[in-house]
Structures are given as C-alpha cells and as structure tokens.
Amino acid sequence: LCERAVYALRETRNANTSTSYSGKSLPQWHEVLGSELILRPLITCWSGNNVKKNLELSKIGLSILQKLIQLECIVSDSFLQVLSSIRDLLPKADIAIQLKLVQILLELPNTETWQ
C-alpha cells in the first residue's frame, strides 16, 4: 500500500501536461489520481472477509477518498468503481463508516468535476 502511494506521488510530480475530460482542461495529475494507480489501494482496503480487522483501514480509506473528491481528483467514472467496492462493505460496516460515506455522497454535487 505504501509503495503504491509513493509510486503514485512520483507519477504526479512527473506529469505536467494537460488533458481534456468532459470538455474541461485538466492537468495530467488529475488523470493519474483518478486512475487505478491510486484507486486500487483504496478499493483493496474495503475488500476482504474480515471487516472488523479492516475497520480502521476502511475509515482511513474513506477519509482519503473524501479528500480526493474535495480536491476534484476523482472523476465520476472512477467513483463508480469505488462505489461498487464499498457496496459489499456496507452491510458489515459500523455506523461511523456509514456516516462517512453519507458525508462523501453529500459533497459530490458541490464539485465541478461532477456538474
């Protein structure tokens, strides 16, 4: 997990050109952060059979996801992939995880990437 995060940060530092998404000009780091490079470790922290063991990791992953959405680093297509991984976690999750997910969902309409 740590190695993937370091690799992703290096990739974002090296990217300085821009690309287009939904008619908007976005820097290439946006594409890197919205890619599987960053999302795979987050999705991994929500998967697994032992949710009690991964409870803290799940909370941390949701906090990271919330921050990435606030910074408009996750595009809607990537978020659908994340939601499908969280869907399996919800029935086993405690109230703190469910509340965090509701907070994240309430913030989505306020980001420019989603409009």
Structure tokens at 41: 């470790």
Q: Which residues pair with 26 in a beta bridge?
A: 19
Q: Which residue has the tokens 């399996």?
A: 88
pLDDT more than 90, % of the chain: 0
Is 58 a residue whose pLDDT tops 70?
yes
pLDDT tens-digit map of 87-107: 877 777 788 888 888 888 888
Output the pTM of the full model.
0.66
Calpha distance 15→38 (Å, rounded): 15
Calpha distance 9→115 (Å, rounded): 27
Calpha distance 89→10 (Å, rounded): 30
- Which of the pair, 22 or 3, is modelled with greater confidence? 3
- Which of the pair, 5 or 115, is modelled with greater confidence? 5
- Which of the pair, 20 or 47, is modelled with greater confidence? 47
Write out the H or E segment, with its range, that includes residue 73: none
Which pLDDT score, from 0 to 100, does residue 20 have?
Answer: 43
Calpha distance 109→115 (Å, rounded): 7
- Which of the pair, 12 or 99, is modelled with greater confidence? 99
Which pLDDT score, from 0 to 100, does residue 7 have?
Answer: 72
Structure tokens at 102: 């509701």
Q: What region, left, alpha or beta, does residue 94 occupy, with left being phi > 0 and alpha being psi -120 to 50 degrees? A: beta
pLDDT band at 21 (very low <50, low <70, confident <90, very high): very low
